[in-house]
C-alpha cells in the first residue's frame, strides 16, 4: 500500500523539567512530539519519502525510540533508523515487528497514552524481561519498570496526603473526590501506603490538577488526542491531567476517557513505577477511549512491592 498525503495537526514543544516522568525520556534533544493524523501514513515502509514521516520521527523521538537528527532536522525519508525504531516500538507493544507502518501499528500509535517515555538512553525498559521462579508454580516474566535511579518515597512517608490545586469543570467536587479516592485505594490495597485528602492548611505530599495547553511546567498538553496526563517521580508529587480530554467517571463503552483508569496509572508513576509491556497491567502506556482498567494486576503488584514491600 502506498502512502497518502499526511497533514500535521499540531506540533508541540516539550522541554524537560525537574525530577519528573521525563526522567524516563532520553535527553533534552528528544523533546518534540506530534499529535497528527498518522492514519494517513498507513503502509509506509523503508525507502519511501512521504510528507509526514518527519512528524512520526518526532513522535518516536519523544518517547525514546529514535535519536535526534538535529533540532528541526527530521526528514520525511523512511530510512533505516526509522525502520529500526518502528521494529522496537512494535516489539514493545506486542505487534508484528516488520518495521512497516501497517494498520495495527498505526492504530496503536494514535491511541491515547501517558506521556512517559518507554526507552531511556538506549535502554528499553518495556522489554526488560526479568524472570522469576516460584517453586511449585513455575517461571514468570516480569515487565514492570522504574524511573532512572529507582526514586522512592522514604520509609518515614507511608501516609501520603493529596490536594486538588485546580477544579475540573466536568465534575462536581464530590464526584471528583470519589473517583480519586477509589483510585488511591487500588494502590493502598497492594502496598504499605495510605492516602487521604489534606485538610485546609495541611501540607500535601501530592498535588492533583487539570490543565489545558501550556500550564507552566514545561510540558504543555496537546488537547484531545495523544497525551492524557503526566506525573512526576518521587518525591515531587505532581500529577497533571489534560483538561481538554472528555473525562468520564466510568467511560465503559463510550468515546470518553476513563478518569479513574488514568488516575490509577499516573498514581503508579507518583509512587515510582515506570511502564510495563504487559497489556493487562495498569502501567501499560496506552489506553483506548471507552476502556476501563482500574485494578493492578500481578505485574503491577510485583513492581510496587519490589519498591516498598508488601502491605
Has 202 been annotated as catalytic? Answer: no
Q: What is the pLDDT of residue 2?
A: 45
Confirm if 229 and 239 have CB atoms less than 8 A apart.
yes
The CATH number given to whatever domain includes residue 274 is: 3.40.390.10
Average pLDDT over residues 208-225: 86
Residues β-bridged to residue 138: 134
Mean pLDDT is highest, among 25-29, 114-118, 242-246, for 242-246
* Residue 176: inside a domain: yes
Residue appearing with cell numbers 493487562? 280
Query: Residue 176: helix, strand or coil by DSSP?
Result: helix
**pLDDT of 7 above 90:** no
**pLDDT of 208 above 60:** yes
Q: What is the pLDDT of residue 306?
A: 93
* Residue 146: inside a domain: no
**For residue range 37-84, what is the model confidence (pLDDT) as tens digits?**
677 899 999 999 998 899 899 889 888 899 876 545 789 999 999 999
Confirm if 225 and 147 have CB atoms less than 8 A apart.
no
Average pLDDT over residues 151-162: 97
Q: What is the pLDDT of residue 126?
A: 80
Q: What is the pLDDT of residue 37?
A: 64
- Write the DSSP string, 207-260: EEEEE-S--SSS----SSSSB-EEE--TT--EEEEETTS-EESS-TTSSSEEHH
Are 74 and 185 found together in one domain? no
- The span from the CA of 91 to the CA of 11, in Å, is 26
Are 101 and 167 found together in one domain? no
* Residue 154: inside a domain: no
The CATH number given to whatever domain includes residue 25 is: 1.10.101.10
- Least Cα distance to 115 among 232, 203, 9, 8 occurs for 232
* Residue 228: inside a domain: yes
**pLDDT of 11 above 60:** no
- The span from the CA of 66 to the CA of 51, in Å, is 18
Q: What is the pLDDT of residue 120?
A: 75
* Residue 134: inside a domain: no
Q: Range of 250's domain?
A: 159-308
Number of domains in the chain: 2
Q: What is the pLDDT of residue 123?
A: 77
Q: Which helix (H) or strand (E) holds 163?
A: strand 159-164
Are 191 and 62 found together in one domain? no
- The span from the CA of 145 to the CA of 285, in Å, is 12
Higher pLDDT, 33 or 212: 212
Amino acid at each position: 500500500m502506498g502512502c497518502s498525503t499526511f497533514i500535521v495537526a499540531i506540533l508541540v514543544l516539550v522541554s524537560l523539567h525537574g525530577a519528573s516522568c521525563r526522567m524516563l525520556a532520553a535527553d533534552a534533544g528528544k523533546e518534540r512530539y506530534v499529535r497528527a493524523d498518522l492514519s494517513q501514513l498507513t503502509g509506509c515502509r523503508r525507502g519511501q519519502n512521504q510528507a509526514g514521516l518527519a512528524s512520526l520521527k518526532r513522535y518516536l523521538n519523544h518517547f525514546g525510540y529514535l535519536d535526534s537528527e538535529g533540532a528541526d532536522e527530521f526528514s520525511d525519508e523512511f530510512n533505516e533508523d526509522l525502520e529500526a525504531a518502528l521494529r522496537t516500538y512494535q516489539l514493545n507493544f506486542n505487534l508484528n515487528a516488520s518495521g512497516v507502518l501497517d494498520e495495527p501499528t498505526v492504530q496503536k500509535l494514535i491511541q491515547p497514552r501517558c506521556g512517559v517515555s518507554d526507552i531511556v538512553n538506549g535502554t528499553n525498559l518495556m522489554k526488560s524481561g526479568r524472570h522469576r521462579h516460584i517453586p511449585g508454580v513455575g517461571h514468570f516474566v516480569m515487565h514492570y519498570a522504574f524511573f532512572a535511579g529507582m526514586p522512592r518515597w522514604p520509609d518515614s512517608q507511608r501516609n501520603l496526603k493529596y490536594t486538588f490545586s485546580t477544579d475540573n469543570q466536568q465534575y462536581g467536587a464530590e464526584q471528583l473526590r470519589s473517583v480519586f479516592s477509589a483510585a488511591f485505594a487500588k494502590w493502598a490495597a497492594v502496598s504499605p501506603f495510605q492516602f487521604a485528602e489534606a485538610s485546609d492548611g495541611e501540607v500535601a505530599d501530592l498535588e492533583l490538577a487539570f490543565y489545558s495547553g501550556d500550564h507552566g511546567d514545561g510540558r504543555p498538553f496537546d488537547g484531545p488526542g495523544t497525551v492524557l496526563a503526566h506525573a512526576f517521580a518521587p518525591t515531587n508529587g505532581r500529577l497533571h491531567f489534560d483538561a481538554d480530554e472528555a473525562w468520564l467517571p466510568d467511560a465503559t463503552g463510550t468515546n470518553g476517557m476513563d478518569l479513574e483508569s488514568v488516575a490509577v496509572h499516573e498514581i503508579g508513576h507518583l509512587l515510582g513505577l515506570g511502564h510495563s509491556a504487559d497489556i493487562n497491567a495498569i502501567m501499560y502506556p496506552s489506553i483506548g477511549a471507552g476502556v476501563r482498567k482500574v485494578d493492578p494486576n500481578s505485574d503491577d503488584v510485583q513492581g510496587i512491592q519490589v519498591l516498598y514491600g508488601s502491605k
